[in-house]
Structure 1
Amino acid sequence: MNGSDLDDTEIDALLDPLPPSRPVLIAGPTASGKSGLALRIAREHDGVIVNADALQVYENWRILTARPSPAEEEVAKHELYGFLPADALYSVGDWLRDLEPILQGDRRPIIVGGTGLYFSALTEGLAEIPPTPGSVRQEGEARLAESGIEALLAELDPDTLSRIDTRNPARVARAWEVQKTTGRGLADWQDDTPAPRLELSDTLPLVLMPERDWLRDRIARRFDAMLAAGALEEARANMDNFSPDLPSAKAIGAKELIAHLRGTWTIDEAREASIVSSQQYAKRQRTWFRSRMSKWHQIPLPGGN
């Protein structure tokens, strides 16, 4: 990240008076430069960089998930990156539990990532909903495939219906699973949410807010850089054991490059599909951050010098 991308003066004005122990939170859409900012803060103001990205926890996709490089990991201590096998399930609650000893440590946590749910759980609290049995999830998937989203919506309570995006199949399925598993609506569980682990006022919360066209171009250039850095070879190393059902398979570009290696797509088709998927994901992230992070320090991109 260079000076034309981010207003360094604005960042320094926020950081210079900050107590050494106060956590820094850095959110933003994919490819917006979060990791570079975190590294700069760690280098200039000390601290340990902590992952808040749901896919960077997996060991098998370093390049495609844009995990910090070995050289960057030598500059500052990094935690919760690449420590899980490809098939490991990992929840927001798991992340909060793994984060706890870091929060209790003697160095400033610099928590950085694009998974908004991690940040909301950290600063707004997380309802301790029991895990969904595999049989219930399979039942929900089958009903969704056979009868559509309306079949699941018909069984949700009014409070839950008023809070979720009823056009989002994943959100509706999750609400249905909670109600089926526990006998309580998702809204009821949310109303019982315990106090957050960190109050937002006790942190420096930064959210990078890039311009649409600037970000779209940056996403395309970054994917080309990933290919140049060996993303195709990384996909080849994952190909024998790859399944779209693996938790780590959600890494953008994974299924696309695997499809190329298996002869389904050309490399140009895989590249284009990956870039489009990443741009669509960034659009969803930007929407989420605008609606849920209005109290955070908004950092526009590109910024001034």
Structure 2
Amino acid sequence: MEINFNSTKAILIAGATATGKSALGLRLAQRYNGVIINADALQVYADWHILTARPSAQEQASCPHRLYGHVPLNTPYSTGAWIKDLRLQLKHAQAEGLRPIILGGTGLYFKTLTQGIAEIPDISTEVKAQADDLEATLGKGIFAQLLAQADPASLAGLDAQNPMRTRRAWEVLTSTGRGISSWQADTPPPLLDIAQTTPVVLNSEVEWLNARINRRFDMMVEMGALDECRAILESGKWNPNHPSNKAIGAAEIISHLQGDLSLEAAIDSAKVQTRQYAKRQRTWFRSQMKNWHQLAIDKPLEFPL
């Protein structure tokens, strides 16, 4: 499909991990005087460089990059916080005459950007602590079970197999007395209407992507992924339950560093986890981004501009 990038519209680039989003973004930024703005929920954290595949220092020096590594590890950071930060960056881009190129693999960020976000009050620390206790004693699936009884309307609009989403919905219901689907029904207009953008989803053959994922993780290990995890572990910042420490492969490498897994087993498990994550991303993008341009890519940078 021919995609017209030659306009003044903001460019959105989504896709599964390792599909080449950053490479495309760099090429477009250099051609259209762009600023690359991060839409990946883990690349916002300061301590993760290698395992989250954050653009290298050389890449970031080649054109403006924003919202990468600006949040301290284990600091709460929500989709709403990202939208707030993004709103400011879009104003800066306009003032500087730069074209926004928003790219990443967090589908919820893009959905919120183009469809709006409900203004839900902050969840109290007491409710979060209660959720921690439930998860620790009854498992992550408990929130879907509780929602099925107390708020089936919200559960119907969620991926019931995603413990982060079901926990969030339970926390909202418990904290506010109102289901998350009810809050979402009152969603204000989006920051960017889809018609104001050039939205692109990168697609690839599964076998090609899986092979690329495997090679990339080997490269991450060679680049120092073990040292990155060791530094976080030794600094006392490692908290496997915090969203900031969900970088794929981190738990496996930490287990290796703690003597619970061989390096080979840790690497193999991390590759499996990454491939499974990419599969979930592809499924989500197919169902949620049907009105986006679908760009097939099986080799890096072999696509029309």
Please give the TM-score of this superposition, normalised by the length of structure 1.
0.90
My pick for the range that moved more, 127-136 or 49-58, is: 127-136
Question: In the alignment, what sits opposite 2:249?
Answer: 253
Aligned to 2:166: 172
Are 2:77 and 1:90 aligned? yes
Indicate the residue corresponding to 2:122 in structure 1.
131
User: 8 Å contact 1:34–1:208 — kept in the other structure?
Assistant: yes
Superimposed CA distance per residue, residues 142-168 of structure 1 (whole angstroms, 9 cap, x where no aligned partner): 345438456413443342233223344
- Residue 298 of structure 1 aligns with an amino acid whose one-letter code is Q
In structure 2, do the counterparts of structure 1 residues 126 and 150 end up closer, same or farther at CA, with 3 Å as the change threshold?
A: closer
Q: Which residue of 1 aligns with 2:138?
A: 146
Name which of structure 1's ranges 149-158 and 220-229 shifts more when overlaid on structure 2.
149-158
**Residue 75 (str. 1) matches residue 62 (str. 2):** yes
- Matched with 1:290 is 286
8 Å Cα contact 2:116/2:191 also seen in 1: yes
Does 2:205 align with 1:218?
no
Residue 72 to residue 167, structure 1, CA distance change in 2 (3 Å): closer
Q: Which residue of 2 aligns with 1:15?
A: 5
Unpaired stretches in structure 2, ≥5 consecutive residues: none
Deviations 1:258-295 (A, max 9, x none): 11112111110110111111111111111110000000
Q: 1:213 to 1:190 in 2, by over 3 A?
A: same
Report what 1:6 is aligned to: none
Match of 2:45 in 1: 58
> C-alpha root-mean-square deviation of aligned residues, in Å?
1.9
User: Is contact 2:144–2:155 with CA below 8 Å preserved after alignment?
Assistant: no
Instruction: Return the alpha-carbon distance in structure 2 between the equivalents of residues 231 and 274 of structure 1.
Output: 12
How many residues align structurally? 292
- Distance in 2, matches of 1:239 and 1:208, equals 34
Give the 3 Å change call, closer, same or farther, for CA 186–63 of structure 1 in structure 2: same
Q: Contact 1:86–1:247 (CA<8 Å) still a contact in 2?
A: no
Distance in 2 between residues matched to 1:154 and 1:70, nearest whole Å: 46
8 Å CA contact 2:119–2:187 kept in 1: the answer is yes
Q: What is the aligned counterpart of 2:175 among 163, 181, 185?
A: 181
Does structure 1 conserve the Cα–Cα contact (< 8 Å) formed by 2:148 and 2:155? Answer: no
Q: Where in structure 1 are there 5+ consecutive unaligned residues?
A: 1-9
Shift of the 271–167 alpha-carbon distance from structure 1 to 2, 3 Å rule, reads: closer
SS in 2 for 1:50: strand
SS in 1 for 2:199: strand
**What residue is the counterpart of 2:100 in the other structure?**
109
- What CA distance in whole angstroms lies between the structure 2 residues aligned with 1:36 and 1:245? 31
CA distance in 2, matches of 1:150, 1:258: 29
User: Whole-Å Cα distance in 1 between the matches of residues 148 and 290 of structure 2?
Assistant: 33
Per the alignment, do residues 135 and 155 of structure 1 end up closer, same or farther by CA in structure 2, a change over 3 Å counting? farther
Cα deviation, residue 82, structure 1: 0.8
2:22 maps to 35
The change in CA–CA distance for 1:91 and 1:157 in structure 2 (over 3 A counts) is: same
Instruction: Confirm or deny: 8 A CA contact 2:143 2:170 kept in the other structure.
Output: no
Residues 1-41 of structure 1: CA deviation (Å, up to 9, x unaligned): xxxxxxxxx67x5213x12xx11000001011000000000
* 2:273 partner letter: S
Partner amino acid for 1:286? Answer: R
Query: How far apart, CA to CA, are the structure 2 residues paired with 1:165 and 1:54?
Result: 18
Percentage of matched positions with identical amino acids:
48
Instruction: Tell me which moved more, 261-270 or 236-245.
Output: 236-245
Residue type at the aligned position of 1:254: A
Partners in 2 of 1:149 and 1:129 — Cα distance? 19
